Amino acid sequence: MSRRAQENILACLLMAFFVGVLVLSLGYSPRARLVPVPISVLGILLLSAQLVWQNLRSPDELHVDMLEFLTRRGGRPKDDAGNADDEAADQGAAAAPPPSQFGREVLAFAKVAGFVAMFLLLGPFPSVFIFVFAYFSLTRHYHWAKAIIVTTIFVAITYALFVEVLDIQLYHGLLEPLVNSL
């Protein structure tokens, strides 16, 4: 899918968000909707302008940096240490589009979702132990024995910090009643 198509889909989703907020806000009392209504209308107008803008320009121009726009400076700026960016490398990168990262992005979302699901089911520390150990092992960053040691030390430090020092009340997970009944 082209970058423009992706941008359009996102803009349409955001438009739906603003329209939804507007519709919901109209059901509130005049004082309760005093700020949400104008803000959602503003959001709809801005997104309409964005949709027109991004569909009338070439794909290379879709990202417009505000500071560059305001200062009208050509090329990329030097960093604070005075190192100029390598424009030739930039041009080369522009010529060859980066490989699609869709697969890794889906995996990233899946890993976060899986971790949160474990967090809800088992509680913080068992899920942290499983997640960190599994991550170390599956990425083969550490040998499994070393992964267990590092994970145990990390969980112990985290537990000491949050539970002992900061006195955070623990959550035991949705599976706790099931475990207790066994």
Partner 1 sequence: MLEAIVGGLTMLLTPQAVLFMFIGVVYGLMVGILPGLGGIVAMALLLPFAYGYETAAMLALLLGAHIATIWGSSVTGILFKVPGAAKSLALIFDGYPLTQQGHASRALGASATAALLGGILGAIFLAISIPIVRPVMLFLGPPEYLMMALWGLTIIATFSEGSLLKGLVAACIGVLIAFIGMDPVTATPRFTFGSIFLLDGVSFPVAMIGLFAVAEMMKLYVKGGSILDRDVTEERSTVLDGVRDAIRHWWLVARSSLLGVWIGVLPGIGASVGGIAAYAQAVQTSKTPERFGHGAIEGVIAPDATVGANEGGGLMPTLAFGIPGGESMAILLIAFVTMGVTPGPQMMTNHLDLVFAMMWIIVLANGMTTLIGLGISPYLARLPAMNANIMVPLVLSVCFIGAFATRGDIEDVIVAAIFGGIGYIMEKYNYSRANLVIGMVLAEMIERNLHISLTLHGDWFLFTRPITLTMFIFVIFTTALPFYRNWRRGRMVAASTGGRP
Token pair listed for 57 = 């320009």
Measured from the CB atom, the residue of 98 and 181 that comes closer to partner 1 is 98
Measured from the CB atom, the residue of 43 and 148 that comes closer to partner 1 is 43
Determine contact, residues 25/37, Cβ cutoff 8 Å. Answer: yes
- 39-68 residues in contact with partner 1 (CB under 8 A) are 39-40, 42-43, 46-47, 49-50, 53, 63-68
Size of the site for partner 1 (CB under 8 A): 74
CA distance 46 to 69: 18
Residue with token string 């200062």: 71
Measured from the CB atom, the residue of 95 and 104 that comes closer to partner 1 is 104
Query: In the 8-state DSSP scheme, what is residue 60?
Result: G
Nearest alpha-carbon partner for 119 in 129, 104, 134: 129
Contact call for residue 128 and partner 1 (CB under 8 A):
yes
Closest contact distance (angstroms) between CB of 169 and partner 1 is: 6
Closest contact distance (angstroms) between CB of 95 and partner 1 is: 19
- 155-174 residues in contact with partner 1 (CB under 8 A) are 158, 161-162, 165-169, 171
